[in-house]
Amino acid sequence: MTTIKDRLIGRLERKEAVIGIVGLGYVGLPLMLRYSEIGYRVLGIDIDAGKVEKLNAGRSYIEHIPAERVAGARDAGFEATTDFSRVSEVDAVILCVPTPLNKYREPDISFVIGTVDALKAHLREGQVVSLESTTYPGTTEEELLPRIEEGGLKVGDGLFLVYSPEREDPGNPDFETRTIPKVVGGHTQSCREVGVALYRPAIDQVVPLSSTRAAEMTKLLENIHRAVNIGLVNEMKIVADRMGIDIFEVVDAAATKPFGFTPYYPGPGLGGHCIPIDPFYLTWKAREYGLHTRFIELSGEINQAMPDYVVSKLIEGLNQRGKALKGSRVLILGIAYKKNVDDMRESPSVFIMERIRDRGAEVAYSDPHVPAFPPMREHHFDLESVPLSPETLAEYDAVVLATDHDRFDYDMIRAHAQLIVDTRGIYRGVSDERVIKA
């Protein structure tokens, strides 16, 4: 006798299943494109009517995702909607919604809970629900499971629940959705089997884990590992600078060791939707067990202090030239959180801009990927990107190199800027009194 599980796995393997993706941002949109391009019909659901309208018109709103791919998916049957009731039409429900921190640096899983609450009345037998949002261990079982079972469906029997953390790296040319291995943890063994069947056609390597909690912890370990190591090298940067040593030269040299060392480079602070946020999910959950995550909290303190360190180096550089920060004109080079993308989430550049503005300086920015400062919940600037030229560079008392986009002409910047605060090691090894390493 064919079970519900077997029928669902069969539909997934034969590409007869309809894939539903809830949340069409930096994670959901590439995943939609991947499933569409390998022959699945995909339904996208998002609360943002503007995004839905653009996608249905075949347009993209993420710089590194070409409109041609979106139009191709639409022509192949992809459709976007704001109607959550249509989740009943799909066989797989993949949740790619944000999990930020609130103002107390505690997990805000309201987007996940709100999404599940909007979907739960429309779930049916024979579906798999996969959560991809980064969260603390236990979220899938403690928050999703009871809500999904409210209507009488039994997870592991009639409906299947998995956790499979996203691992997108926007703007990284070396990896794409297909080539990044996919961790999958199921609530039951049957859930895991269905989860593997969901992702195996789309991803080169699927890594099954024993539980959703192990998969949730895996994602946190990946990001905590990075946050702690960046915190370490940022602290080393301060020590090296005080000793007159170039930390970038040191890291480059250490990286020649073929074992036991992984290079991490310092910067103006952490940015993006993962590294500055996710470690605090474990910090918060660990308190429930009477534990204090000292490494995580210490690295967070160091990394959050980096914008202030950059501003202190800017003040130092201006002082050497007989100028005060108040009344100076300062140009920030790059306001995206990492090179070659248009993603502004948690960007340290914005915190640097606020600190400079609050100290009485006139602040402007140049970023070829962000033509106008976007609306943000906590940061407000009415600015547009300044085009870089020898004339505009010379107009500013200092430029702060915050994001090392490839499209910047670094030779021109160095030739015409009055003062450069280099937070990315672009001018490592350069002996120039106008270049301040920060």
pLDDT tens per residue across span 300-310: 899 999 999 99
Task: Provide mean pLDDT across the span 332-346.
Answer: 93
* Count of helices and strands (H, E) across the chain: 16, 13
Contact 180, 30 (CB under 8 A): no
Q: How confident is the model at residue 133 (pLDDT cuts 50, 70, 90)?
A: very high
CA distance 74 to 80: 9
Torsional sign, CA 244, 246, 247, 253: negative
**Which residue reads 């890291």 in tokens?**
251
Active site residue 191: no
The CATH number of the domain covering residues in 305-437? 3.40.50.720
pLDDT computed for residue 391 by the predictor: 95
Is residue 173 over pLDDT 90? no
CA angle 322/349/424 to nearest 5° reads 75
Q: How confident is the model at residue 273 (pLDDT cuts 50, 70, 90)?
A: low
Average pLDDT taken over every residue of the chain? 94
Q: How confident is the model at residue 275 (pLDDT cuts 50, 70, 90)?
A: low
Q: Residue 235 corresponds to which tokens in the numbers above? A: 């602290």
pLDDT computed for residue 168 by the predictor: 83
State CA 250 to chain mean position distance: 28
pLDDT computed for residue 158 by the predictor: 93
- Name beta bridge partners: 22: 45, 95
Contact 107, 136 (CB under 8 A): yes
Do 305-437 and 4-210 fall under one CATH topology?
yes
CA distance 277 to 274: 5
The CATH architecture that domain 4-210 belongs to is 3-Layer(aba) Sandwich (3.40)
- Name beta bridge partners: 10: none
Long-range contacts made by residues 149-153, C-beta under 8 angstroms, separation at least 24?
150/120, 151/120, 151/121, 151/123, 153/123, 153/124, 153/125
Among 17, 155, 274, 314, which one carries the catalytic annotation? 274
Look at 261 and 102; give whichever has higher pLDDT: 261
Contact 31, 94 (CB under 8 A): yes
Task: Provide mean pLDDT across the span 142-151.
Answer: 96
Angle formed by the axes of helices 306-320 and 294-304, nearest 10°: 30
Q: How confident is the model at residue 324 (pLDDT cuts 50, 70, 90)?
A: very high
Strand (E) positions, 245-397? 329-333, 362-366
Q: Which sequence spans correspond to the domains of the chain?
A: 4-210, 305-437
pLDDT computed for residue 378 by the predictor: 79
pLDDT computed for residue 270 by the predictor: 84
Is residue 164 over pLDDT 90? yes
pTM above 0.85?
Answer: yes
pLDDT computed for residue 404 by the predictor: 96
**What is the 8-class DSSP label of residue 82?**
S
At 281-323, the pLDDT tens digits run 889 999 999 999 999 999 989 999 999 999 999 999 999 999 9
Task: Provide mean pLDDT across the span 166-184.
Answer: 89
At 380-426, the pLDDT tens digits run 899 999 999 999 999 999 999 999 999 999 999 999 999 999 999 99
Task: Provide mean pLDDT across the span 64-74.
Answer: 94
At 78-88, the pLDDT tens digits run 999 999 999 99
DSSP 193-253: HHHHHHHTTT-S-EEEES-HHHHHHHHHHHHHHHHHHHHHHHHHHHHHHHTT--HHHHHHH
Is residue 49 over pLDDT 80? yes
At 195-238, the pLDDT tens digits run 999 999 999 999 999 999 999 999 999 999 999 999 999 999 99
pLDDT computed for residue 85 by the predictor: 97
CA distance 388 to 420: 14
Is residue 350 over pLDDT 90? yes
CA distance 311 to 400: 9
pLDDT computed for residue 416 by the predictor: 97
**What is the 8-class DSSP label of residue 375?**
P
